[in-house]
Amino acid sequence: MSSLKSTLETTFCGIPCINPFWLASAPPTNCGEQIMRAFDAGWGGAVWKTIGEPITNVSSRYSSIDWEGRRMMGFNNIELISDRPIEVNLREIAEVKRRYPKHVVIASLMVESKRETWHEMVQRAEDAGADGLELNFGCPHGMSERGMGSAVGQVPEYCEQITSWAKERARTPVIVKLTPNISDIRMPARAAKRGGADALSAINTINSITGIDLDTLQPNPNVDGKSSHGGYCGPAVKPIALNMVQQVQADPESALPLSGIGGIGSWRDAAEFILLGCGTVQVCTAAMHYGYRIVEDMQDGLLSWMEDKGYRTIEDFRGLSLPNVVEWKKLNLNYQIIARIHEDLCIGCQLCYTACWDGAHQCIHLDRAAAIPDTTRTPAMVEAEAARKISTTPIPKLDAGTLDGDTAVTPLERIPRVDEHHCVGCNLCSLVCPVEGCITMERIDSSLPAESWEERGAKGATPPGGREVMNTNT
Amino acid sequence: MSERIPFFQQSAIPPEVIERFGDLHPSFDRQAAVVEANRCLYCFDAPCTGACPTHIDVPSFIKKIASGNLKGSARTILDANILGASCSRACPVEVLCEGACVMHRYNKQPIEIGRLQRFAMDALHKSGAPLPFEPGADTGLKVGLVGAGPASLACAAELRRRGIHADLYDARPLPGGLNTYGVAEYKLPLVESLREIEMLAQLGVQFYFETMIDAEKLAEIEHTYDAVFLGMGMGAIHRLGIGGEELGGVTNALDLIAGYKSGKITMVPRRVVVIGAGNTAIDAAIAARRLGAEEVQIVYRRGPEQMSAFKFEYEHARAEGVKFLWHTQPTEILGDRSVEGVELIRLEATEDGSIVAQTDSAFCVEADLIVLSIGQSTYTAFLDEFRSKSGKVQLERGRVVVDRMTGQTTHPKFFAGGDCTNGGREVVDAVADGKRAGIGIAAWLEAHHVIA
């Protein structure tokens, strides 16, 4: 039993935080009343729904992707920044800070690209009591058509320029929120750093069209028969966000304190973002789906994991996975794993079999019932044999023994066999297998020392066509 | 044919009887069906498909429900099983597709395949669309089918899809055999059986009802058609051979079930005793409860381990309030002009497994109706009398002997399937037999006529 007492308290670019869980600038942070309820539920901070000259929104605004019965695996919006007057938002910021002095309130800002306008907005937000400022250079829809949001974030020069304007006046930390709708996220990240940003947040939403209604042929969300590309977020985008977070954190010219955003819905997601270097995380879709109450398990789960792992603070594990992400050319080519099917767990669905034949390397076979391994039996042959079999309804009296056949045991002929000599260790079978731990990927000793493509190239042992012709890491 | 009243509009069951036979497995609504469909793992060479006698491609039709391709889902089902709607309701899925589901080994409930199949088939019926198949180009070949039950219907569908004429002869006024008259109404309503057959009729199947087939008529059929399919099912339920069987108030399970399904029986008296413990006995016992009997007892000469009813049928009967008298056997049916009771004796097993009467164990049970359900006799005597120049249809213990892959009998022109060959199994078994025989007949005719 560990007596370790972990804490979620942390500091992000100088801002003390009671926990790293912030609500992202979005509908859940539209007004002071909401944010105070969120703080009561346990959120450590909130980035206010972007403040700027009030806009007019459309109806409808959201659409989503359902996946096999689960709702909102991916979420999309075409809602713009706050539609409330600037002074109302600022007045409420002041009230929230007065009532929740220990909670973090970040003012997200977006105004036209003029130095004086930014100066004024920064001043007003800080006067209201915001703990920091987030510059919204990421909004991909609507605002970008007006030269704001991602229209700024996509041009490194603008990004640097406006960041520096904000910094000229700011007394609190300036966080630049990055758009993922760009070829290389390090470009705007470096620009923000050059402009003097204190921190970054990433990612904003991804340009998306979530789907077309097959009856009306109109896309969603439907605004009088038309739609517009929106911003994609939710669980579906997490891998994209993690990749971009890593790119920024692994780049010395970009690296700054980073608030991770993108598909975070649980403490596990949060831990992954922190392991790749994030100091706080921001959540939106999960709170829109299930309400503010989800933060309770986020806190509880993360603390419990930290205690199990022996981490006292967020800083104890922040960034620990960064060294484990390398360029492909540095991966060990002599590392070999192969699939092992644990017969006692196999339920006989044969998904690994069909996946290996059609999607991988044809090295899983259905030949356990054969006298000798038979790698020539194709899926079509298996299906043809099955089609020829005659089966009848077992009647208790007529078919003694067949009825009480133990359904708890998988018949041997249904348990696939891995041809270990041909298995390339791709993982596919273990990924499609529905049973936890049934297919494990196990290391085999290649008795060769670790060697990467880069090392092989240095020895002149790679074919000329495969050599690096362009350095992509600039 | 055009003025014919659709079969399903010829139901004569009074609504108040139908009301008493509410759906045992209510249908899914659309969203529940999609959620359930998405649970399916989509196994390769799926055990459910293998366990289904008609080899319905279960994962495919389920994935089509999940994707919203309901028309395609129904087509996948019907392509393997022309009575897909009936089977989705009547099949003992617990020992077939759902029994084989790998989910059992996942420590989870099996996929509700039967209800999903019904959902897809109901959607097709509701859409009013015809069968998704066209008759094949006319070959001019003709097949006569004896019986219009599931085996003959399935055989006829295969023949019509290959452009072969199919004429069905049946003793009853409506088609479907036991599918129409013999399945408990809470599983498969009569109208649903008829609705499905109505669709099949659209393929151009001809029916000749209220026609009994004897050796003479069979010879005529042999003469008229290029091939013959025997799908006449089984005969009457065995009699006990004890005193009092001729009394009023003695019936059998099939007559009771057919009676209420054809509207002739709308209620039963207060006390009912069912003799026998097979699936049909259970259906009759539950029917008696639903038709108003207060006391229904099943009398069986062995114990619960030996009864031929499925375990889930037994559980169902108990849930409906049916009582069981194990290790008992009737010795006499008592009554003056109609049944007043039955005299029973207790039995015990001897060391060699046979059962003998316990001495002085006789006792009486009062009853107003006795329902016999101790197995059916075969209905093949006319085949013994039937003489043909080109061969003989061989029987074994009264059953027609066939090559199971093709359904061909020992007489090359005669094919057979269903209960008359297997001794009495499920609707789905008959459909599978009929399907194989239909394909077998077409192949035989093709070879026969090409060579001839």
Number of inter-chain CB pairs under 8 A, A vs B: 88
Q: What percent of chain B has pLDDT over 90?
A: 90
Q: What pLDDT, on the 0 to 100 scale, is given for residue B136? A: 96
Q: What pLDDT, on the 0 to 100 scale, is given for residue A142? A: 79
Q: Are residues A338 and A305 in the same domain?
A: no
Q: Are residues A263 and A333 in the same domain?
A: no
Q: Are residues A298 and A374 in the same domain?
A: no
If you ran DSSP here, which 8-state letter would residue A223 be given? B
Under a CB-based contact definition with an 8 Å cutoff, are residues B341 and B367 in contact? Answer: yes
CA B281 remoteness from chain centre: 14
Q: Which of A260-269, A399-408, B48-57, B206-215 has the lowest mean pLDDT?
A: A399-408
Q: Are residues B267 and B359 in the same domain?
A: yes
Q: Is B66 on the interface with A (CB under 8 A)?
A: yes
Of A390, A408, A409, the CB nearest to B404: A390
- Helix H segments across A391-469? 428-432, 453-458
Of A300, A324, A348, the last residue of a domain is A324
Of A383, A409, A434, the CB nearest to B106: A434
Rg (CA), chain A: 27
**Total domains in the fold of chain A:** 2
Phi–psi pair at A359, nearest 5 degrees: -115, 0
Q: Are residues A236 and A341 in the same domain?
A: no
Q: Is A404 on the interface with B (CB under 8 A)?
A: no
**Distance between CA atoms of residues B417 and B155, nearest Å:** 9
* Residue owning tokens 């088609």: B175
Q: Are residues A49 and A133 in the same domain?
A: yes
CATH code assigned at A220: 3.20.20.70
| Residue-level pLDDT, tens digit, chain A, 474 residues | 456 799 999 999 999 999 999 999 999 999 999 999 999 999 999 999 999 999 999 999 999 999 988 899 999 999 999 999 999 999 999 999 999 999 999 999 999 999 999 999 999 999 999 999 999 998 888 788 888 888 889 999 999 999 999 999 999 999 999 999 999 999 999 999 999 999 999 999 999 999 999 999 999 999 999 999 999 999 999 999 999 999 999 999 999 999 999 999 999 999 999 999 999 999 999 999 999 999 999 999 999 999 999 999 999 999 999 999 999 999 999 999 999 999 999 999 999 999 999 999 999 999 999 999 999 999 999 999 999 999 999 877 666 555 445 677 899 999 999 999 999 999 999 999 999 999 999 999 989 999 999 999 999 888 866 555 555 554
Of A393, A403, A434, the CB nearest to B425: A393
Q: Which residue does chain B place closest to A381, by CA atoms?
A: B45
Peptide bond into A60 cis (omega under 30): yes
- Asked whether residue B9 is assigned to any structural domain, the reply reads no
- Asked whether residue A386 is assigned to any structural domain, the reply reads no
Of B323, B357, B374, the last residue of a domain is B374
**Distance between CA atoms of residues B334 and A372, nearest Å:** 67
Per DSSP, the three-state class of B69 is coil
Q: Are residues A290 and A425 in the same domain?
A: no
Q: Which of A33-37, A201-205, B47-51, B384-388 has the lowest mean pLDDT?
A: B384-388
Q: Are residues B254 and B230 in the same domain?
A: no
Q: Which two tokens stand for residue A244?
A: 């971009």
Q: Are residues B52 and B123 in the same domain?
A: yes
Q: Shortest Cα distance from A385 to chain B (angstroms)?
A: 10
Of A324, A341, A364, the last residue of a domain is A324
Q: Are residues B280 and B222 in the same domain?
A: no
Q: What pLDDT, on the 0 to 100 scale, is given for residue A400? A: 54
Under a CB-based contact definition with an 8 Å cutoff, are residues A175 and A200 in contact? Answer: yes
Q: Shortest Cα distance from A65 to chain B (angstroms)?
A: 14
pTM: 0.92
Calculate ∠ Cα A210-A214-A220, nearest 5°. Answer: 30
- Asked whether residue A110 is assigned to any structural domain, the reply reads yes
Q: What pLDDT, on the 0 to 100 scale, is given for residue A298? A: 98
- Owning domain of residue A126: 10-324
Residues in chain B: 452
Sort strands A258-261 and A199-202 into parallel, antiparallel or unpaired: parallel
**Distance between CA atoms of residues B51 and A414, nearest Å:** 14
Under a CB-based contact definition with an 8 Å cutoff, are residues A253 and A193 in contact? Answer: yes
CATH code assigned at B40: 1.10.1060.10
Under a CB-based contact definition with an 8 Å cutoff, are residues B124 and B74 in contact? Answer: yes
The catalytic residue among A139, A159, A363, A433 is A139
CATH code assigned at B173: 3.50.50.60
- Asked whether residue B205 is assigned to any structural domain, the reply reads yes
What digits encode the pLDDT tens for the residues A126-167? Answer: 999 999 999 999 888 878 888 888 888 999 999 999 999 999
Q: Is B302 on the interface with A (CB under 8 A)?
A: no
Q: Are residues A251 and A133 in the same domain?
A: yes
Q: Are residues A375 and A295 in the same domain?
A: no
What digits encode the pLDDT tens for the residues B67-115? Answer: 999 999 999 999 999 999 999 999 999 999 999 999 999 878 999 999 9
Task: Please count the other Cβ atoms lying within 10 Å of the Cβ belonging to residue B44.
Answer: 23
- Asked whether residue B415 is assigned to any structural domain, the reply reads yes
User: Are A393 and B423 inside 8 Å of each other by CB?
Assistant: no
Q: What pLDDT, on the 0 to 100 scale, is given for residue A406? A: 61
Q: Are residues A260 and A165 in the same domain?
A: yes
Sort strands A278-283 and B142-146 into parallel, antiparallel or unpaired: unpaired
Residues 6+ apart with CB under 8 A from B392: B386, B410, B411
**What's the mean pLDDT in B295-312?**
93
CATH code assigned at A446: 3.30.70.20
Of B43, B55, B92, the CB nearest to A393: B92
Q: Which two tokens stand for residue B28?
A: 């899914």
Q: Are residues A285 and A349 in the same domain?
A: no
Task: Please count the other Cβ atoms lying within 10 Å of the Cβ belonging to residue A337.
Answer: 16
- Asked whether residue B1 is assigned to any structural domain, the reply reads no
**Distance between CA atoms of residues A368 and A376, nearest Å:** 13
CA A449 remoteness from chain centre: 34
User: Are A410 and B105 inside 8 Å of each other by CB?
Assistant: yes
Rg (CA), chain B: 23
Q: Is A348 on the interface with B (CB under 8 A)?
A: yes
Under a CB-based contact definition with an 8 Å cutoff, are residues A41 and A292 in contact? Answer: yes
**Distance between CA atoms of residues B344 and B326, nearest Å:** 11
Give the best residue of B44, B64, B404 to mutate against chain A (max A CB count within 10 A): B44
Under a CB-based contact definition with an 8 Å cutoff, are residues B408 and B402 in contact? Answer: yes
Of B374, B403, B424, the last residue of a domain is B374
**Of A133, A82, A131, whose CA–CA distance to A105 is shortest?**
A131
User: Are A68 and B100 inside 8 Å of each other by CB?
Assistant: no
User: Are B95 and A393 inside 8 Å of each other by CB?
Assistant: yes
Under a CB-based contact definition with an 8 Å cutoff, are residues A78 and A61 in contact? Answer: yes
- Asked whether residue B315 is assigned to any structural domain, the reply reads yes
List CB contacts (< 8 A) between A407 and chain B: 99-100, 104-105
- Asked whether residue A218 is assigned to any structural domain, the reply reads yes
Per DSSP, the three-state class of A196 is coil
What digits encode the pLDDT tens for the residues B340-383? Answer: 999 999 999 888 878 899 989 999 999 999 999 999 999 999 99
User: Are A396 and B100 inside 8 Å of each other by CB?
Assistant: no
**Distance between CA atoms of residues B203 and B332, nearest Å:** 51
User: Are A386 and B49 inside 8 Å of each other by CB?
Assistant: yes
Under a CB-based contact definition with an 8 Å cutoff, are residues B51 and A403 in contact? Answer: no
Phi–psi pair at A20, nearest 5 degrees: -85, 10
- Asked whether residue B11 is assigned to any structural domain, the reply reads no
Of A68, A382, A434, the CB nearest to B45: A382
Under a CB-based contact definition with an 8 Å cutoff, are residues B180 and B258 in contact? Answer: no
Peptide bond into A463 cis (omega under 30): no
Peptide bond into A203 cis (omega under 30): yes
Q: Shortest Cα distance from A218 to chain B (angstroms)?
A: 18
- Owning domain of residue B108: 21-127
**Total domains in the fold of chain B:** 3
- For chain B, the first-to-last Cα distance in angstroms comes to 34
Sort strands A10-12 and A15-17 into parallel, antiparallel or unpaired: antiparallel
List CB contacts (< 8 A) between A350 and chain B: 43-45
Q: Are residues A169 and A74 in the same domain?
A: yes
Of B50, B422, B429, the CB nearest to A386: B50
Quick check: is A356 catalytic? no
- Asked whether residue B4 is assigned to any structural domain, the reply reads no
**Distance between CA atoms of residues B434 and B206, nearest Å:** 16
Per DSSP, the three-state class of A45 is strand
The kind and range of the H/E element at A90 are helix A86-99
Under a CB-based contact definition with an 8 Å cutoff, are residues B99 and B105 in contact? Answer: no
User: Are B44 and A69 inside 8 Å of each other by CB?
Assistant: no
Phi–psi pair at A300, nearest 5 degrees: -60, -45
Sort strands A174-177 and A199-202 into parallel, antiparallel or unpaired: parallel
CA A412 remoteness from chain centre: 40
Calculate ∠ Cα B241-B246-B248, nearest 5°. Answer: 140
The edge-to-edge listing of strands for the beta sheet with B295-299 is B250-252, B369-372, B271-275, B295-299, B323-325
Q: Are residues A226 and A361 in the same domain?
A: no
Give the best residue of B102, B402, B426 to mutate against chain A (max A CB count within 10 A): B102
- Asked whether residue A237 is assigned to any structural domain, the reply reads yes
Q: Which two tokens stand for residue B403?
A: 């090559």
**What's the mean pLDDT in B315-334?**
96
**What's the mean pLDDT in B247-272?**
96
Q: Shortest Cα distance from A405 to chain B (angstroms)?
A: 10
Task: Please count the other Cβ atoms lying within 10 Å of the Cβ belonging to residue A408.
Answer: 8
Reported as a pLDDT band with limits 50, 70 and 90, residue B333 is very high
Per DSSP, the three-state class of B388 is strand
- Asked whether residue A64 is assigned to any structural domain, the reply reads yes
Q: What pLDDT, on the 0 to 100 scale, is given for residue A465? A: 64
Q: Shortest Cα distance from A349 to chain B (angstroms)?
A: 5
List CB contacts (< 8 A) between A68 and chain B: 38, 66
- Asked whether residue B137 is assigned to any structural domain, the reply reads no
Sort strands B234-237 and B376-378 into parallel, antiparallel or unpaired: antiparallel
